[in-house]
Amino acid sequence: MTDLSVIIVSYNVRAFLEQCLVSVERAMNDVDVDVWVVDNRSVDGSVDMVRERFPWVHVIANQDNVGFSVANNQAIRACAGRHVLLLNPDTVVGEDTFQTCLAHADAHPKLGGMGVPMYDGTGKYLPESKRGLPAPWPAFCRMSGLHRLAPKSRRFNAYYAGHVGEHETAPVDILSGAYMWMRKEALDEVGLLDEQFFMYGEDIDLSWRLVEGGWENHYFAGTRIIHYKGESTKKGSLNYVMVFYRAMLLFAAKHFEGSQARAFSWMIRTAIYGRAALAVLRRMLSRWGDMLRVAMGTLAVLGGVMAVSQVALGKSFVWPDAGWQAAGLVAVQVLGMWAGGGYRDARERGGASRHVLAWLLASLMTLAAYSLFPESWRFSRGVVLVLPVLHGLVHGLVLARALKRNGNPYHIRRLLVAQADLGGMAELLRRNEGERVRLTMHALWAGESDPQEWPQLQGVPWVGRIRDVEEAVQIHNVDEVVFSGKDVRTESIVAALPMLGRMGLKCRIAWTDVGDVMSSGGASREAFVAFQRGLHRPEVARTKRVFDLVLVFLVWSMAPVMWFTGRGDWVRFSMRVLRGKGTWVRPGNLQVPERHGLDLTEGLKGRAADRKAFTHAQDYHWRKDLAVVADALISRRAIISHGHH
């Protein structure tokens, strides 16, 4: 029987996984080890790398991300070791780690689980290497920060087992899933990982079940490992935080009762709302950060002008008599810049001219606002004329910094979604961009199932299927997604656009056979068509939402007439629109199930319906929706609710 089975669950951490397996191979001396890698559908080439570089590793390649618990259980059921080690891919084990841990486990027959000291990439000790049961009081001390006041206290730092020293071997309650050594016999008694836990919390649950089953969990200080904390899950932002807290609620419901369960639930929910609020604030700062920086910078420069005038002339043109008026004009200037699109990505086509036009609009708005001031509010006209110049200078500095932060416009990372058309798309892209732009391209298979033979194209690796687009964008830092007009179904493109728009990505469609795409300007013969007014863009989606709400109130104002003329379904449907559960004009045959309403493509079939729906999504204008609504009122068409007439 094998001494040890090492199980590693991988998800889009190819570089860390490769490093981890190298360290595992070095630690296998004099220990009979079999190694399992369970991949939860990575799109970074992890599976191919393992099969090529480490052919002795058993690979389980899942077709979906089934979660940490399910993936580990798959390998636990298949492995044959006396001991099982659950190991994170973002870890590096020492050459003697397996040998010393095996000796300690064999010397303590009641040992059910074992953890070791973990250090991050900078050499800092990770306190989660040893933990106590997260009961309400320890959890409160951890969330409130009280544990920092007495880090070695059993009472105030029970969460991190503060009474156990970093270099001291001792029994503990909870082990870390990053390095979780368990006796197979103990696992057979208490059961495998609880698959209700998708990610996080499963190590706490299993550790406590080992203790309740009469086994001991040891913190073993005889070796140490590196754990690049959070690298295997860091790419998911707030979602991962929510998964963690939901896991804690599940653990509380499973192991606590009465007042303990209520107290723990209250603390966790408070933490969820707190973290969600911080995430919203962070998102606002991220979205409006440049606007705030320009406003504050302009006010600072304006303050400098006032200070200089005070020193040179003995008086200030503005402060204190007209301080609020000056600040108000700065706000008008910033809002004008925003309204003109001056805070959009300058790397987009026409970005430079748009920024200049936005600045001119903002300047005119500022002068117009000043002209509307009562005589008693007005101050130096010279300052008002200088203000747009100051604003333009500050905006230019912030814009330059943002361009530097957001990457090199002459190095574009593209994700191509195609099948057999991949070669033609790549050639068109290279030809259109020319030699001055360096392209990095990855490809997603547009089909629902993998092909029998992948089309090979040098320099454009396949990284997954179309359903993996979100993960592929994050992993490969994609700037733009290009869909094949020949290979990708229109409904698939439209379904992907909202998510890509929220991520701030450019989306285009390539017609390698020089086809055409109908838009408001007619048929385009360009090989690549950009979604300049696509419904996926936030500002366009806002326009459609405003149109929907205006129509809701118009329907309500005429509700008696609507009911009397047999259009009561419009009034009923207006409540769905108000709640954001529907839209008055839906894309028709593109099958967007969360939105229902008037079918844009009624009376059309096949490619004609497809084209009209695609044009609506690609080049939206509220007047198009108004035309559909007016036609429906005249022809007495019914609202489609829940997909049925």
What CATH number should be reported for the domain holding residue 462? 3.40.50
CA 254 to each of CA 90, 186, 208, 257, 258: distance values in angstroms, whole numbers, following the listed order: 30, 20, 11, 8, 12
Give Dmax over CA atoms of the chain in angstroms. 94
Q: What is residue 643's predicted lDDT score, i.e. its pLDDT?
A: 41
**Burial of residue 109 (number of CB atoms within 10 Å: 0-12, 13-18, 19+):** exposed
Please report the beta strands in 220-307, taking only residues with DSSP state E, as ranges in sequence order. 225-227
Residues 228, 156, single domain; the answer is: yes
Dump the DSSP string for 491-518. HHHHHHHHHHHHTT-EEEEE-TT---EE
Cα–Cα dist 556/574, whole Å:
8
Domain boundary among 504, 531, 558: 531
Provide the pLDDT for residue 593. Answer: 38
107 within a domain of the structure (yes/no) = yes
- Alpha-carbon gap, residue 229 to 586, rounded angstroms: 45
Q: Are residues 227 and 362 in the same domain?
A: no
pTM of the predicted model as reported, rounded to 2 decimal places: 0.59
385 plus 335 within the same structural domain: yes
Amino acid (one-letter) located at 108: H
Residues 475 and 429 in one domain: yes
pLDDT of residue 61: 94
- Taking the C-alpha atoms of residue 100 and residue 105, their distance in angstroms, rounded to an integer, is 9
**Cα–Cα distance measured from residue 169 to residue 102, given in angstroms and rounded to the nearest whole number:** 15
Flag whether 49 is in a domain.
yes
Inside any domain, residue 30 = yes
Number of domains in the chain: 4
Predicted local confidence at residue 540, as pLDDT: 72
Residues 440 and 463 in one domain: yes
Q: 537: which 2 tokens?
A: 């863009």
Residue 308 and residue 210 share a domain: no
Q: Which of 531, 549, 581 lies at the terminal end of a domain, its last residue?
A: 531
Cβ atoms < 10 Å from Cβ of 265: 16
- What pLDDT is stored for residue 71 in this prediction? 93
β-strands 506-510, 480-484: how paired? parallel
**Radius of gyration for the chain, computed over Cα atoms and rounded to the nearest angstrom:** 31
pLDDT of 83: 97
CA angle, corner 469, sides to 465 and 470, nearest 5? 145
Residue numbers of the domain that contains 101:
2-234
Phi and psi at residue 619, to the nearest 5°: -135, 70
Query: Does a structural domain hold residue 441?
Result: yes
Same domain, 66 and 181: yes
Out of 373, 406, 439, a domain closes at 406
Is 625 inside a domain boundary?
yes
The verdict on 358 and 486 lying in the same domain is: no
257 found inside a domain: no
Q: Which mean pLDDT values do the consecutive 10-residue runs of the chain (645 residues) have?
A: 94 88 90 96 91 96 88 94 95 91 96 92 82 75 75 81 90 91 94 76 85 94 84 51 65 68 70 65 61 63 62 55 68 75 59 73 82 72 72 70 55 84 80 67 80 74 84 85 79 71 75 43 46 63 80 86 82 84 66 46 50 60 80 66 41
Q: Are 195 and 73 in contact (CB under 8 A)?
A: yes
Strand partners for 13: none
Query: Are 30 and 100 in the same domain?
Result: yes
127: domain CATH number is 3.90.550.10
Instruction: State the pairing for strand pair 438-445/517-519.
Output: unpaired
Residue 283 lies in a domain: no
Position 282 in a domain? no
448 and 481 fall within a common domain: yes
Residues 492 and 381 in one domain: no
Cα–Cα distance, 91 to 108 (Å, whole number)? 26
Structure tokens at 450: 């993998």
Residue 55: cis peptide before it, omega within 30 degrees of 0: no
Same domain, 549 and 466: no
